[in-house]
Protein backbone atom coordinates (compact mmCIF):
# COMPACT_ATOMS: atom_id res chain seq x y z
CA UNK A 1 0.00 0.00 0.00
CA UNK A 2 1.13 3.53 -0.77
CA UNK A 3 0.23 6.56 1.35
CA UNK A 4 -0.98 9.89 -0.05
CA UNK A 5 -0.90 13.39 1.47
CA UNK A 6 -3.70 14.30 3.89
CA UNK A 7 -2.35 17.68 5.02
CA UNK A 8 0.74 19.43 3.67
CA UNK A 9 1.40 21.56 6.74
CA UNK A 10 5.10 20.90 7.32
CA UNK A 11 6.15 20.09 10.89
CA UNK A 12 9.72 19.84 12.10
CA UNK A 13 8.66 16.85 14.21
CA UNK A 14 5.03 15.89 13.60
CA UNK A 15 3.71 13.55 16.30
CA UNK A 16 0.77 12.25 18.31
CA UNK A 17 -2.12 12.16 15.77
CA UNK A 18 -5.58 11.40 17.16
CA UNK A 19 -9.10 11.67 15.78
CA UNK A 20 -11.37 13.41 18.29
CA UNK A 21 -14.35 15.72 18.16
CA UNK A 22 -14.71 15.35 14.39
CA UNK A 23 -11.13 16.23 13.41
CA UNK A 24 -7.58 14.98 13.31
CA UNK A 25 -5.30 16.58 15.88
CA UNK A 26 -1.50 16.35 15.66
CA UNK A 27 1.52 18.09 17.15
CA UNK A 28 4.69 19.80 16.00
CA UNK A 29 6.84 19.21 19.07
CA UNK A 30 9.67 21.75 18.46
CA UNK A 31 7.11 24.24 17.12
CA UNK A 32 5.13 23.96 20.39
CA UNK A 33 1.96 23.66 18.29
CA UNK A 34 -1.17 21.54 18.05
CA UNK A 35 -2.74 21.37 14.59
CA UNK A 36 -6.22 20.17 13.61
CA UNK A 37 -8.06 19.45 10.35
CA UNK A 38 -11.64 18.27 9.94
CA UNK A 39 -13.09 16.09 7.21
CA UNK A 40 -14.19 19.16 5.23
CA UNK A 41 -10.61 20.45 5.18
CA UNK A 42 -10.95 23.27 7.70
CA UNK A 43 -7.75 23.74 9.71
CA UNK A 44 -6.77 25.37 12.98
CA UNK A 45 -3.70 25.48 15.22
CA UNK A 46 -2.79 26.49 18.77
CA UNK A 47 0.57 27.59 20.20
CA UNK A 48 1.32 26.48 23.76
CA UNK A 49 4.59 28.20 24.64
CA UNK A 50 6.20 24.86 25.56
CA UNK A 51 6.66 21.54 23.79
CA UNK A 52 3.53 19.39 23.52
CA UNK A 53 3.52 15.91 22.07
CA UNK A 54 0.53 13.60 22.68
CA UNK A 55 -3.17 13.61 23.50
CA UNK A 56 -6.06 11.44 24.65
CA UNK A 57 -9.83 11.88 24.60
CA UNK A 58 -11.36 12.86 27.93
CA UNK A 59 -14.67 11.18 28.69
CA UNK A 60 -16.02 14.49 29.97
CA UNK A 61 -15.08 16.20 26.69
CA UNK A 62 -11.93 17.84 25.44
CA UNK A 63 -8.42 16.42 25.40
CA UNK A 64 -5.72 15.50 27.86
CA UNK A 65 -2.48 16.89 26.45
CA UNK A 66 1.08 16.01 27.47
CA UNK A 67 3.64 18.80 27.60
CA UNK A 68 7.19 19.14 28.88
CA UNK A 69 5.87 20.20 32.31
CA UNK A 70 2.69 18.17 32.84
CA UNK A 71 -0.63 16.79 31.70
CA UNK A 72 -3.33 19.31 30.85
CA UNK A 73 -7.06 19.43 30.17
CA UNK A 74 -7.56 21.26 26.84
CA UNK A 75 -10.72 22.70 25.28
CA UNK A 76 -10.12 23.11 21.54
CA UNK A 77 -13.13 25.40 21.09
CA UNK A 78 -12.10 27.95 23.72
CA UNK A 79 -8.34 27.30 23.62
CA UNK A 80 -8.29 27.07 27.42
CA UNK A 81 -6.00 24.59 29.16
CA UNK A 82 -5.83 23.63 32.80
CA UNK A 83 -3.20 21.59 34.64
CA UNK A 84 -4.21 18.07 35.68
CA UNK A 85 -0.86 16.88 37.03
CA UNK A 86 2.72 18.16 36.90
CA UNK A 87 5.31 15.87 35.29
CA UNK A 88 9.06 16.57 35.47
CA UNK A 89 8.19 20.28 35.63
CA UNK A 90 11.34 20.93 37.66
CA UNK A 91 13.62 19.33 35.04
CA UNK A 92 14.26 21.68 32.08
CA UNK A 93 16.31 19.02 30.27
CA UNK A 94 13.38 16.65 29.51
CA UNK A 95 10.13 16.76 27.55
CA UNK A 96 7.14 14.53 26.90
CA UNK A 97 7.13 12.24 23.87
CA UNK A 98 4.76 9.42 22.84
CA UNK A 99 1.53 8.78 24.76
CA UNK A 100 -1.79 6.94 24.52
CA UNK A 101 -4.93 6.07 26.47
CA UNK A 102 -5.30 2.49 27.70
CA UNK A 103 -8.48 0.38 27.84
CA UNK A 104 -8.97 0.94 31.59
CA UNK A 105 -9.36 4.72 31.38
CA UNK A 106 -5.71 5.58 32.04
CA UNK A 107 -3.27 7.61 29.97
CA UNK A 108 0.38 6.64 29.48
CA UNK A 109 3.09 9.10 28.54
CA UNK A 110 6.83 8.81 27.99
CA UNK A 111 9.47 11.44 28.67
CA UNK A 112 12.94 11.85 27.19
CA UNK A 113 15.96 14.13 27.23
CA UNK A 114 15.73 17.11 24.90
CA UNK A 115 19.20 16.20 23.65
CA UNK A 116 18.42 12.45 23.55
CA UNK A 117 20.45 11.78 26.70
CA UNK A 118 20.73 8.03 27.27
CA UNK A 119 18.50 6.76 30.06
CA UNK A 120 17.00 10.19 30.85
CA UNK A 121 13.44 9.16 29.94
CA UNK A 122 10.66 7.45 31.81
CA UNK A 123 7.13 6.06 31.50
CA UNK A 124 4.26 7.53 33.52
CA UNK A 125 0.60 6.65 33.84
CA UNK A 126 -2.28 8.99 34.66
CA UNK A 127 -5.06 7.01 36.35
CA UNK A 128 -8.14 8.51 37.97
CA UNK A 129 -6.55 11.94 38.12
CA UNK A 130 -3.23 10.85 39.68
CA UNK A 131 0.07 10.39 37.86
CA UNK A 132 2.48 7.61 38.80
CA UNK A 133 5.99 6.77 37.62
CA UNK A 134 6.02 3.30 36.06
CA UNK A 135 9.49 2.83 34.54
CA UNK A 136 12.77 4.74 34.36
CA UNK A 137 16.01 4.47 32.36
CA UNK A 138 14.51 4.89 28.88
CA UNK A 139 16.03 7.01 26.14
CA UNK A 140 13.30 7.54 23.50
CA UNK A 141 10.05 5.90 24.70
CA UNK A 142 7.63 5.18 21.87
CA UNK A 143 5.08 2.69 20.50
CA UNK A 144 2.80 2.95 23.55
CA UNK A 145 -0.35 0.97 22.71
CA UNK A 146 -2.65 -1.69 24.14
CA UNK A 147 -4.31 -4.99 23.23
CA UNK A 148 -8.03 -4.74 22.40
CA UNK A 149 -9.05 -6.32 25.72
CA UNK A 150 -6.59 -4.24 27.74
CA UNK A 151 -4.72 -7.29 29.04
CA UNK A 152 -1.40 -6.37 27.45
CA UNK A 153 0.56 -3.19 26.84
CA UNK A 154 3.40 -2.35 24.46
CA UNK A 155 6.18 0.24 24.40
CA UNK A 156 9.58 0.70 22.82
CA UNK A 157 12.85 2.47 23.46
CA UNK A 158 14.49 3.87 20.35
CA UNK A 159 17.85 3.28 22.01
CA UNK A 160 17.58 -0.52 21.66
CA UNK A 161 15.13 -0.65 18.70
CA UNK A 162 12.85 -3.23 20.36
CA UNK A 163 9.12 -3.15 21.03
CA UNK A 164 8.46 -4.67 24.45
CA UNK A 165 5.28 -6.07 25.93
CA UNK A 166 3.96 -6.79 29.41
CA UNK A 167 0.79 -8.20 30.92
CA UNK A 168 -1.53 -5.71 32.64
CA UNK A 169 -3.87 -6.33 35.56
CA UNK A 170 -7.58 -5.51 35.66
CA UNK A 171 -6.78 -1.88 36.56
CA UNK A 172 -4.22 -1.52 33.78
CA UNK A 173 -1.01 -1.72 35.83
CA UNK A 174 1.93 -3.93 34.74
CA UNK A 175 2.03 -7.26 36.58
CA UNK A 176 5.33 -8.55 35.23
CA UNK A 177 8.61 -7.33 33.76
CA UNK A 178 8.46 -6.48 30.05
CA UNK A 179 9.73 -8.93 27.44
CA UNK A 180 10.79 -8.42 23.83
CA UNK A 181 7.92 -8.55 21.33
CA UNK A 182 9.57 -7.34 18.09
CA UNK A 183 13.13 -6.33 17.19
CA UNK A 184 13.58 -3.67 14.49
CA UNK A 185 17.34 -4.24 14.44
CA UNK A 186 17.42 -6.48 11.33
CA UNK A 187 15.03 -4.17 9.44
CA UNK A 188 16.81 -0.87 9.85
CA UNK A 189 15.47 2.23 11.51
CA UNK A 190 13.60 2.26 14.81
CA UNK A 191 10.05 1.76 16.12
CA UNK A 192 8.16 5.01 16.64
CA UNK A 193 4.45 5.50 17.40
CA UNK A 194 2.07 2.53 17.23
CA UNK A 195 -1.62 1.64 17.51
CA UNK A 196 -3.51 -1.66 17.74
CA UNK A 197 -6.31 -2.70 15.38
CA UNK A 198 -9.38 -4.86 15.98
CA UNK A 199 -7.41 -8.09 15.44
CA UNK A 200 -4.77 -7.11 17.98
CA UNK A 201 -2.10 -6.31 15.37
CA UNK A 202 0.22 -3.35 15.84
CA UNK A 203 0.57 -0.70 13.16
CA UNK A 204 4.00 0.79 13.96
CA UNK A 205 5.79 3.68 12.26
CA UNK A 206 9.30 2.68 11.17
CA UNK A 207 11.41 5.80 11.75
CA UNK A 208 14.22 5.74 9.19
CA UNK A 209 12.48 3.01 7.23
CA UNK A 210 9.90 5.08 5.36
CA UNK A 211 6.94 2.83 6.17
CA UNK A 212 4.35 1.72 8.67
CA UNK A 213 4.37 -2.01 9.48
CA UNK A 214 1.45 -4.18 10.56
CA UNK A 215 2.84 -6.65 13.12
CA UNK A 216 0.62 -9.55 14.17
CA UNK A 217 0.27 -10.56 17.85
CA UNK A 218 2.68 -13.45 17.20
CA UNK A 219 5.37 -11.03 15.95
CA UNK A 220 5.07 -11.67 12.20
CA UNK A 221 4.92 -8.76 9.71
CA UNK A 222 1.64 -8.97 7.85
CA UNK A 223 1.51 -5.78 5.74
CA UNK A 224 3.18 -2.41 5.26
CA UNK A 225 2.33 1.07 4.05
CA UNK A 226 5.07 2.81 2.07
CA UNK A 227 5.60 6.54 2.49
CA UNK A 228 7.46 9.11 0.35
CA UNK A 229 9.41 10.20 3.45
CA UNK A 230 11.93 8.33 5.58
CA UNK A 231 10.79 9.45 9.02
CA UNK A 232 7.15 8.52 9.72
CA UNK A 233 6.41 9.08 13.40
CA UNK A 234 2.95 7.85 14.43
CA UNK A 235 -0.28 6.45 12.95
CA UNK A 236 -3.90 7.07 13.98
CA UNK A 237 -7.14 5.46 12.86
CA UNK A 238 -9.67 7.65 11.09
CA UNK A 239 -13.29 8.13 12.18
CA UNK A 240 -14.56 5.18 10.11
CA UNK A 241 -11.64 3.01 11.33
CA UNK A 242 -10.78 2.05 7.74
CA UNK A 243 -7.87 4.42 7.19
CA UNK A 244 -4.57 5.36 8.80
CA UNK A 245 -3.35 8.92 9.23
CA UNK A 246 0.41 9.15 9.66
CA UNK A 247 2.55 12.04 10.90
CA UNK A 248 6.16 12.52 9.84
CA UNK A 249 9.29 14.57 10.58
CA UNK A 250 12.03 16.53 8.85
CA UNK A 251 14.11 16.85 12.02
CA UNK A 252 17.77 15.97 11.46
CA UNK A 253 17.59 15.81 7.66
CA UNK A 254 20.34 17.52 5.70
CA UNK A 255 19.78 19.66 2.60
CA UNK A 256 20.11 16.73 0.21
CA UNK A 257 17.62 14.62 2.15
CA UNK A 258 15.14 17.49 2.33
CA UNK A 259 15.45 18.04 -1.42
CA UNK A 260 14.70 14.35 -1.99
CA UNK A 261 11.82 14.36 0.53
CA UNK A 262 10.00 17.70 0.12
CA UNK A 263 6.96 16.34 1.98
CA UNK A 264 8.91 15.36 5.09
CA UNK A 265 6.90 16.71 8.03
CA UNK A 266 3.49 16.40 6.32
CA UNK A 267 0.58 14.15 7.35
CA UNK A 268 -0.29 11.16 5.15
CA UNK A 269 -3.25 8.80 4.80
CA UNK A 270 -3.76 5.25 3.55
CA UNK A 271 -6.64 2.74 3.51
CA UNK A 272 -6.42 -0.42 5.61
CA UNK A 273 -8.17 -3.77 5.19
CA UNK A 274 -8.70 -4.67 8.86
CA UNK A 275 -10.77 -2.20 10.91
CA UNK A 276 -9.03 -0.22 13.59
CA UNK A 277 -10.23 0.60 17.08
CA UNK A 278 -11.51 3.92 18.39
CA UNK A 279 -9.21 5.59 20.92
CA UNK A 280 -10.46 4.87 24.47
CA UNK A 281 -11.58 7.66 26.76
CA UNK A 282 -9.43 8.85 29.65
CA UNK A 283 -11.23 9.03 33.02
CA UNK A 284 -10.11 11.61 35.56
CA UNK A 285 -12.38 10.33 38.34
Q: Annotated catalytic sites, by residue? A: 192
Smallest Cα–Cα separation from 270: which of 245, 248, 240? 245
Angular region, 233: left φ>0, alpha ψ -120 to 50, beta rest = alpha
Whole-number Cα distances in Å, 6 to 112, 203, 210, 222: 29, 18, 16, 24
Helix H or strand E segment including 281: strand 281-282
The answer to whether 187 and 211 are in contact (CB under 8 A) is no
Helix H or strand E segment including 260: helix 255-260
**How far is Cα 203 from Cα 283, in angstroms, rounded to an integer?**
25
Whole-number Cα distances in Å, 99 to 33, 53, 55, 56, 64: 16, 8, 7, 8, 10
Amino acid sequence: MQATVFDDTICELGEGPIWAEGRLFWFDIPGQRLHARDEAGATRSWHFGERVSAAGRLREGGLVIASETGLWRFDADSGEWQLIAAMEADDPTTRSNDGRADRQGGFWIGTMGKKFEKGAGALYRLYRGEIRLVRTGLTIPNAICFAPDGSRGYFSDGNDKCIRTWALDAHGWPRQDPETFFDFGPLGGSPDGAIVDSEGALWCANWGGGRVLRILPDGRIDAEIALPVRQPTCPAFGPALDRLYITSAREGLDAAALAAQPLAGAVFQAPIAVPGLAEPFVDLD
